[in-house]
Structure 1
Amino acid sequence: MYNKEYKGDICSHDHSFFLDNFLRRLIQNPKKVVGEYIKEGDTVVDLGCGPGYFSIDMAKMVGESGRVISVDLQPEMLEKVKKKARKQNLSQKITLHNCPQDQIGLDQDVTADFVLAFYMLHETPNHIKFMQEVKTFLKRGGKCLIVEPRFHVSKKNFHQVIQDIKNIGFNVLGNPLKKGGRSLLVSV
């Protein structure tokens, strides 16, 4: 179980309805947000996947030969992903990974073509350490999309995150989502 003493802003599984509903699909449609970065056969990592809002759609995008690794701190969130995947016959494409609070902890053989960190980087205890770990499993030329909510992350704080990510050695490719949050597309 995750550390309830951590004072970070982790969205509880009790509120997962807010993370996956028809209204959100109108504003943040997964195909529009990540579709151009994912192709058939890709390995995709959904960090802080919550109830699987992006994971389910990305599993459809990677086709028969690809896979999605859905990572979350809360086992209850992963259980929701598991149920949705089973219902949509996508269980064989989605690997569930319950991470500890202070690291992602994926197997060393994971190499991702695309990594999504949507509205969750601000929830990590140390974004620099977190992104250093992302760098270890993102393929050379692979892409990572980071999106942070304006209501949680100030412009000043996001600029510091961008600078920290550059210092780690990521290449900044741009700000693909002008609306709907503070975004950053990076590669190694």
Structure 2
Amino acid sequence: MIYENKQRICPVENAGSLDNVIRKWLQNPGKILRPYIQPGMSVMDFGCGPGFFTMKMAQMVKEGGTVFAVDLQEGMLQKLKEKIQSTELEDRIKLHQCKESGIGVSESLDFVLAFYVVHEVPDQETFFYELKSIVKPGGTVLIAEPPFHVSKKAFQKCIQKARKAGFNAEKGPSVILSKTALLSTGQ
């Protein structure tokens, strides 16, 4: 089981704290994602919450691309659905509620963002193996974790689990209030 303790998950009631002007200033989605997303790509925002990164991802993949917005909580997906309803982004964003036992997306992906969410996944080993099975050769995964919830040691263990699943791992980009890693599948 990937999610066995729902108390570890950010509640829907706190969604507003995940999507606000101050956060956009500190953690600008366009600046963070620009090196990784191109038009036409298939990408995933894992643990998308109310869509803080999802919206920018959909703008970046343009008409020929797809964004899988994945969250465990129906309430988070509903908030995102309300944002995109009747916009040009609605056709590019596929809402997907993952199960407690796994992600449940079988499409091949060019890029996955897991921002402030991997620490909420109790079975990280299973999570990384499933990610490895859906990320295309040459694809990448950007992980960012909050330093106030994730110690340096815990973050290193997380990256070791990603390597065990077959990812190459390197230091990720500099993001305010974040520990980051960039995972790749190789060619």
Query: One fold, TM greater than 0.5?
Result: yes
1:133 is matched with which residue? 130
* 1:103 counterpart residue number: 102
1:144 aligns with 2:141: yes
Tell me how far 1:18 sits from its aligned partner. Answer: 0.2
1:82 partner amino acid: K
Residue 165 (1) aligns with residue 162 (2):
yes
- What's the CA shift for 1:20? 0.2
Q: Deviations 1:134-188 (Å, cap 9, x if unpaired)?
A: 0010000011000110011000111111122112210113221253211000111
- How does 1:108-123 map onto structure 2 within 5 Å? 108=106, 110-123=107-120
Residue 68 (structure 1) aligns with = 67
TM-score by length of 2: 0.93
Q: TM-score, normalization: structure 1?
A: 0.93
Q: Alignment partner of 1:136: what SS?
A: helix
Structure 1 stretches of 4+ with a deviation exceeding 6 A read: none
Cα offset, 1:89, TM superposition: 2.7
| Aligned residue identity for 2:68 | I
- The answer (yes or no) to whether the contact 1:30–1:54 under 8 Å persists in 2 is yes
Distance 1:35 1:77 in 2: 25
In structure 1, runs of 5+ residues without a counterpart are: none
RMSD across aligned positions (CA): 1.4
Separation in structure 2 between the aligned mates of residue 55 and residue 7 of structure 1, nearest angstrom:
23
The alignment-based identity, stated in percent, is 44
Matched, 1:20 2:19: yes
Question: Larger RCO: Structure 1 or Structure 2 (Cα < 8 Å, ≥ 6 residues apart)?
Answer: 2
Partner-residue secondary structure (3-state), 1:173: strand
Q: State the one-letter code of the partner of 2:54.
A: S
Shift of 1:8: 4.7
Whether contact under 8 Å (1:102, 1:125) holds in the other structure is no
Q: Structure 1 178/27 Cα, relative in aligned 2: closer, same or farther at 3 Å?
A: closer
Aligned residues between the structures: 183
Secondary structure at the aligned position of 1:102 is classed as coil
DSSP-derived class of the 1:36 partner? coil
What is the distance in 2 between the residues matched to 1:35 and 1:64?
17
